[in-house]
Amino acid sequence: MDNKGFFRMHDGLNKLRDEILGVKGSEYPTGHGDRLSNFKVVGQLLSPLEGEGQARIDGEWVEATVQLELEPEVVAAIYTLKHVLSLCTFIREQRSDKEGHEPFSSRIADIQNYCDLLFSIVSEQGRVKPLEKIEEPWVCELCDVAGPHTHGQPILRLLPDDPDGL
C-alpha cells in the first residue's frame, strides 16, 4: 500500500469512527452533558463492593476490610481491552467480514474511539498534557495541498520549520 492509499484508508476509518461515536454515544445517558459519565457511573456502581480479606500494606499481607474502587479510567481500559480481545479473536481465527461478525473496520474504529475516551478521562483529571489544536501550517496528505480545501476530511501533517526538511 502506498502512502496515498494508506491515508485514504485512514480517512475512511476516521469517518467511520465519527459515525460510531455519534450513533453509540447517543445510546447512552450522558449525565448532565458529561460525555464520560458512563465510565464514572459504572465505576461508582461497582465501588461499594467491600468485605473482609487480605490486603498488602507496606509489603506485608494483613487482614483488613477491603473495598474495590474502580476509577473511570480503569472502566474505560477494561472496555478497551474487551474490544482488543475481539480483534485478537478475529485475527487468530482468520475470520473475514463475510462471516456475519462485526466488520474488522468497526472493531478497529471501536478500539480507537475507546482510546480517545480513555485519553479524555485521564486528561480531564489533569494527569496528561492536553493536546493542542493543529494550527497552520499544515498539508493535506491526500493531495499535498496546504490549507483548507474541499475533498472530504483532510489528513494533516505539520510542515517542518525548515522548508528543506533538515
Same domain? 123 vs 151 = no
Same domain? 91 vs 166 = no
pLDDT for residue 91 is more than 60: yes
Lowest mean pLDDT among 4-13, 31-40, 48-57, 86-95: 48-57
The pLDDT value given to residue 162: 45
Q: Is residue 55 part of a domain?
A: no
Same domain? 42 vs 114 = yes
Q: Do the Cβ atoms of 154 and 144 come closer than 8 Å? A: no
How many domains are contained in the chain? 2
**CA angle (67, 68, 72) in 5-degree steps:** 140
Which residues have C-beta within 8 Å of that of residue 39, sequence separation ≥ 6?
72, 73, 75, 76, 79, 117, 121
Structure confidence by residue, pLDDT tens digits, 148-158: 555 555 444 55
Say which residue, 163 or 105, is predicted with more confidence: 105
